[in-house]
Amino acid sequence: SLNMLLAALLSCFSIFSNQPAQAQTSLIQNAPARRVLSLNGSWNYIIDPYENGFYDYRREAFDKSASGKGGYYDNQKPSNSQEPELIEYDFDHSAVMQIPGDWNSQDAKLLYYEGTVWFKKDFKLKPTAGKRYFLYFGAINYEAHIYLNGKKLGMHKGGFTPVQLEITDKLSASGDNFVVVKADNTRHAEEVPTINTDWWNYGGITRDVYIAETPATFIVDYKVQLAKNDPANLAGYVQLDGAEKAGQTVTLNIAEAGLKQTLKTDADGRATFRLRAKKLKLWSPLSPKLYAVTLTNGAETVQDKIGFRTIQTQGQDILLNGKSIFLRGISIHDENPLIPGRARGEGDLRMLLTWAKELGCNYVRLAHYPHNEIMLKLADEMGLLVWAEVPVYWTIAWENPTTYQNAEQQLSDLISMGKNRASVMVWSIGNETPLGDARLKFMSRLATKARALDDTRLIAAALELHRTPDNVVHVDDPLGEYLDLASFNEYAGWYWGGKPSEITKYTFDIKYNKPVVISELGGSALAGYHGDAETRWSEEYQEALYINQIKMLSTIKGLRGLTPWILVDFRATRRQHPVYQNGFNRKGLISNTGQKKKAFYVLQEYYRQQAAKYD
Ligand code: GCB
């Protein structure tokens, strides 16, 4: 039939195209809640810099050949036949690494490696009739080709958003299965991020892997939040997926709030709602109240814990639940400096947010790409507002339509993943992107997209600025017109030259009558290295830098928050100084061994004072 032809064409497209994420339409909302089988743990791996497991000696991809066979994803073993077989790889006798986990921190050979590594895991799962199964990866950096039992499931690009593939008809009846992943973290100019960044290009399967089980028709997506700027009404939708999605009854129940509503899905399997919810206790950093929310469709129940709050701007104020707030923030990378490597799960993430709380924060910037879904849940629980971001960073290929589609897909997936989290207050569409027409078109389009996907949060980016010889800092980047905040990174006392004591000479000329939230400021110090306030790399220099930054901040009209750069030292290849840096960006307030530097206490004291004023 025409439909089957179309489906076949589409599936070819997902395998052969260079577009990101074609294999997935809608991400399963709260996928961890549907988990039946974790695939975390030991995976065998093969390092394959020449991609011999993917291409034949004429550089033709095995998975595009007529048989589709020949690649490492066959996971071949010698048979017992008479003829000696030539097989030049063997997953089962290859080394293992722990997943989730980047490869750089698990094998010394791979510290600087950029290229292909193959991963293989065996698992037992006997499919139950009438159920559907989805293979789910929290993140794979960067390009992933995924195979189940020797057959290709799809390809995904983007190192920080989930990869989700339906495997219902592909599990073996016997229950013995194997999954193979080709992960390739090679950087390319037209990808997102592009080739040049200031963070380590950690490769591999860096977040949880599991199989989610659902009924044949199931609740694939939902949004349960307060209506835009309206503390008295809930608004949102429930979306079903499957053959029977039309005309179904779905119940939304928030028992603690005495709310129960029966919804009917339309022909597309969607039910939108608006519901009076007068007496809800609203979520805030001071009181991070979460309600148990239950969605029921027949025998299926999905549970979530959701907070409710409004966030809006009014002139230069940011109103949380109608009340002006000051954002006491800090920037954070998705890295555990003690490993050092990508944060591997809840323990690592809780450590980072506990440090932020200790600093006195009510806000964190999760730079410069989507962080783990668990991080957003922890922020909900611990009472931290969140700036969430996509890796549209520096010199993106602005003219390339595929690059735009990729950025938009990553933004959509981020918003999908975070839209039920009360903590998330800002979607950031990028960082320090250079002025130009093509860039403005690209970025304003992203801003419009973000608003269309979610009108209940603020849209921002770290804008460009420029200085004039009179020490005036001008923030007039035209992208600012499209955003809700006047946010920018300022490096007085570090990149701008001069001593920390000279920072106070700068004044700011900000074109926009919007809340000013400084997305970065800071300077480097090697923990334990001491000198005076003019000795670069010393803790005293960084301390003086913070003291004078804070003096200067008080002169900025409309300042409503800041996220200094950065909570902890992190790995970065740009940072080559053999004594002071050693491959680490040292702008952390905490060192890569967990030691607090002097500047930590300066910022902590400032935040104590701000909390006393605003909370
Ligand atoms: C920036 C970037 C950030 C860098 C930082 C630095 O402006 O946004 O990614 O790590 O400066 O330390 O130079």
At 588-607, the pLDDT tens digits run 999 999 999 999 999 999 99
Range of lowest pLDDT (80-94, 219-233, 401-415, 463-477): 80-94
- Distance in angstroms (rounded) separating the CA atoms of residues 97 and 265: 45
H-helix segments, 336-431: 346-359, 373-382, 401-418
| Statement: residue 424 has pLDDT above 50 | yes
Question: From atom 4 of ligand 1, which residue's Cα is the shortest distance away?
Answer: 198
Q: Ligand 1 in contact with 431 (CB < 6 A)?
A: yes
pLDDT at position 10 is 46
Question: From atom 3 of ligand 1, which residue's Cα is the shortest distance away?
Answer: 198
Per the CB < 8 A criterion, the answer to whether 31 and 136 are in contact is yes
Q: Ligand 1 in contact with 565 (CB < 6 A)?
A: yes
Fold adopted by 230-307: Immunoglobulin-like (2.60.40)
- CATH for 312-521+558-568+598-614 is 3.20.20.80
What are the distances in angstroms from CA 427 to CA 90, 285, 389? 44, 18, 6
What are the distances in angstroms from CA 231 to CA 137, 235, 283, 306, 381? 35, 10, 11, 14, 20
Q: How far is the CA of 247 from the centre of ligand 1 (A)?
A: 51
What are the distances in angstroms from CA 72 to CA 75, 91, 179, 283? 6, 9, 11, 50
Q: Is the peptide bond before 333 cis (omega within 30 degrees of 0)?
A: no
Q: Ligand 1 in contact with 433 (CB < 6 A)?
A: no
pLDDT at position 25 is 62
For residue 368, the ligand 1 atom closest to its alpha carbon is 9
- Distance in angstroms (rounded) separating the CA atoms of residues 610 and 356: 15
Q: How far is the CA of 495 from the centre of ligand 1 (A)?
A: 10
Question: From atom 13 of ligand 1, which residue's Cα is the shortest distance away?
Answer: 198
Q: How far is the CA of 25 from the centre of ligand 1 (A)?
A: 34
pLDDT at position 78 is 82
How far from chain centre, in Å, is Cα 357? 21
Q: How far is the CA of 431 from the centre of ligand 1 (A)?
A: 9
- Distance in angstroms (rounded) separating the CA atoms of residues 451 and 516: 20
| Statement: residue 522 has pLDDT above 90 | yes
Tell me the average pLDDT across 359-369: 98
Per the CB < 8 A criterion, the answer to whether 590 and 542 are in contact is no
Which helix (DSSP H) or strand (DSSP E) does residue 331 occupy?
strand 327-332
Q: Ligand 1 in contact with 428 (CB < 6 A)?
A: no
DSSP 258-269: TEEEEEE--TTS
Q: Ligand 1 in contact with 586 (CB < 6 A)?
A: no
- Distance in angstroms (rounded) separating the CA atoms of residues 365 and 369: 10
| Statement: residue 18 has pLDDT above 60 | no
For residue 431, the ligand 1 atom closest to its alpha carbon is 8
Tell me the average pLDDT across 248-276: 97
| Statement: residue 23 has pLDDT above 70 | no
Tell me the average pLDDT across 202-207: 98
Q: Which residue has the tokens 């004594």?
A: 579
Query: Which residues neighbour 59 within 8 Å (Cβ) at sequence distance 6 or greater?
Result: none
Closest CA to 435 of 406, 409, 461: 461
Tell me the average pLDDT across 224-247: 97
Tell me the average pLDDT across 259-280: 96
Q: Ligand 1 in contact with 487 (CB < 6 A)?
A: no
Extended beta strands in 66-150, E state: 96-99, 116-124, 131-137, 140-141, 143-148
| Statement: residue 128 has pLDDT above 70 | yes
- CATH for 15-79+87-215 is 2.60.120.260
Percentage of residues in the chain having pLDDT higher than 70: 96
Question: From atom 9 of ligand 1, which residue's Cα is the shortest distance away?
Answer: 198
Q: What is the pLDDT of residues 28-54, one digit of tens each?
A: 999 999 999 999 999 999 999 999 999
Question: From atom 7 of ligand 1, which residue's Cα is the shortest distance away?
Answer: 489
Provide the b/e sequence for 396-413 (b: ≥16 CB within 10 Å).
Answer: bbbeeebbbebbbbbbbb
How far from chain centre, in Å, is Cα 256? 31
Q: How far is the CA of 198 from the centre of ligand 1 (A)?
A: 6
Domain boundaries, the chain: 15-79+87-215, 230-307, 312-521+558-568+598-614
Answer with the residue of higher pLDDT: 457 or 23: 457
Instruction: Using pLDDT thresholds of 50, 70 and 90, give the confidence band for residue 438.
Output: very high
Average pLDDT value for the chain: 95
For residue 520, the ligand 1 atom closest to its alpha carbon is 7
Instruction: Using pLDDT thresholds of 50, 70 and 90, give the confidence band for residue 17.
Output: very low
Pocket test for ligand 1, best of 198, 330, 518, 536 (most atoms within 8 A of CB): 198
Q: What is the pLDDT of residues 137-188, one digit of tens each?
A: 999 999 999 999 999 999 999 999 999 999 999 999 999 999 999 999 999 9
- Distance in angstroms (rounded) separating the CA atoms of residues 543 and 598: 6
Closest CA to 120 of 156, 142, 147: 147
ipTM: 0.99
Q: Ligand 1 in contact with 432 (CB < 6 A)?
A: yes
Closest CA to 304 of 162, 423, 424, 420: 420
